[in-house]
Amino acid sequence: MTDTDAILGYRRADGSLGVRNVLLVLPAGQCANALALQCAEGVAGAFALLHTQPCAHLGEDNTAAANCLAGLGRNPNAAAVLVLGMGCDVVSAEDLAQRIATTGKPVRCLTVEAVGDWESAVHLGRSWLERQADAASRLRRERATIQDLSLGVKCGGSDATSALAGNPAVGRVVDRLVEMGGTVVFSETTELIGAEHLLLERAPDPRVRGRMLASIRATEERIRATGVDPRGTQPTPGNIAGGLSTLEEKSLGGVLKTGSSSISGVFPWGDAPQGPGLHLMDCPANVPQLLLGWAAAGCQLLVFSVGGGLPARIPSLIGTNVGPLPLLPIIKVLSNPNDKDAACFFDVYAGEILEGGASLPQVSAKLWGSVLEAASGTPTYLESYCFPAVQVWELLLRGPTV
C-alpha cells in the first residue's frame, strides 16, 4: 500500500475504524420511535434510526431484527449509541445495549419502565447525548490502512450502459480493495438469478458454493410460490426502457460490480461477514432493508452504480425512499451519457468510458480516489443533500406475523 492509498478515520476501542462520527439513537421497537426523536432533537451529530420492528413478529424475524439492530450499533461509524425501549419490547433494549457494549464504545440503555416515565427518559437521554456530542467533537482522525475498510456495492436503474461502464469500474475497485486486504459485501439475491453459475465458479470453498446456491434457490422458490416465474421475465419497466429484456440480462450486468475476486463467504441479513474478502449478504433487493443490512454488517461506505433513465434524474436516489442513513455514506456512479446533465447528482461520472473521453482503468482510478476521500471525511453528494422528511426504516420480514 502506498501513502496515496491511506485513509483517515476514527480508531474505536475494539480496533475498528469509523469514517464518520454518528451518535446513534436506536429504538428497540417501533413504540420507542417517538422517544428516540425527542432525545435526538437538537443534539449535534445525533441520528434517530426509526424502524418498523413491532411486537407482532415471530421467531426468525425477531432474531434477524435483533441481530440487525445490534449490528447497527456496532457499526464503526457510530461513535456512541443510546438504546431506547418501553420495557416490554420483544427485542430487549437491555440485550441490545449489552451486545453493542462489547465494542467498548459508549452505550447507554434507557426504558420508560425502568426510568419511571416518558419525560424522564427524554431528559436523561438528551443529557447523555449532549455529553457524547462534546466528546465526539474532540476526536481526531488518524492514518489507517485499506484493511480497515468494509465496502458495500449495489447497482440500480440498470441498463446496457451500467453493464458497460459503471459496474465494471466498481468491479475493479472491488478487486483492488479485496487484494489489499479489505472487505466487500454485495447482495440483492433476487438479481443473481440467471448469473449464479458465474459466481459459483468463484467460490473455491464447497461450503461457500453450497450456501450461495442454497440462498439463490430459496429466493427463487419464494418468488415462484407467489405464482411468478422470475426467469425469462423483467420485473421493472425502467429496466425494459433501458434495453434489458430478461432478469438474466440484468443479473449478468449486475454481477460485474463484484469484480473477479474469489468469494469468501455468505451470510444472512442482520449478520456480518467473518473476516476480510468478498462476501454475499443474502437479502432481497428492497432498498431500506439492503441499506440497514450493509450497515449492520459493518460496512462504512457504499458504492451505488446507476445506469440512467428516470432513476438518474432523482437527486436523492438512493436515499429517496427512506431518507439518509448517516451510518452508511453512499458514493453514486452514473453511466449513461444520455443523462449526463444529471451528473451533478452523482460523485463519479462513468459515461466517459462510452463517450471515449476516458478508459475503464481511468474511471475506476477516479472511483478509487472517491472511496478514499469519502473514507477520510469528504462528504458524498447525498450527505450534502437536504432530506426534509423523517423516515421510518423497514426491517426485513419473511413472516408470518401474529
Q: In this predicted model, what pLDDT tens digit does every residue of 289-335 receive, in sequence order?
A: 999 999 999 999 999 999 999 889 999 988 776 778 999 999 999 99
> What is the value of pTM for the model shown?
0.95
Give the neighbor-by-neighbor strand order of the sheet with 17-18. 17-18, 7-11, 142-144
Query: What percentage of the chain has pLDDT greater than the value 90?
Result: 82
The dihedral through the CA atoms of 351, 353, 358, 364 has a sign that is positive
Confidence class of residue 379 from pLDDT cuts 50, 70 and 90? very high
- In this prediction, residue 2 carries a pLDDT of 57
- In this prediction, residue 242 carries a pLDDT of 66
Q: What is the mean pLDDT of the chain?
A: 93
The position carrying cell 427512506 is 322
31-58: average pLDDT? 96
Confidence class of residue 158 from pLDDT cuts 50, 70 and 90? confident
- Provide long-range contacts, Cβ within 8 A and 24+ apart, for 43-48: 43/126, 43/129, 43/130, 43/133, 44/133, 44/137, 45/21, 45/79, 45/133, 45/136, 46/129, 46/133, 47/22, 47/23, 47/326, 47/327
Q: In this predicted model, what pLDDT tens digit does every residue of 201-210 receive, in sequence order?
A: 999 899 999 9
371-377: average pLDDT? 98
- In this prediction, residue 234 carries a pLDDT of 59
- In this prediction, residue 235 carries a pLDDT of 60
Dist. CA 125–CA 284, nearest whole Å? 35
Q: In this predicted model, what pLDDT tens digit does every residue of 109-139 receive, in sequence order?
A: 999 999 999 999 999 999 999 999 999 999 9
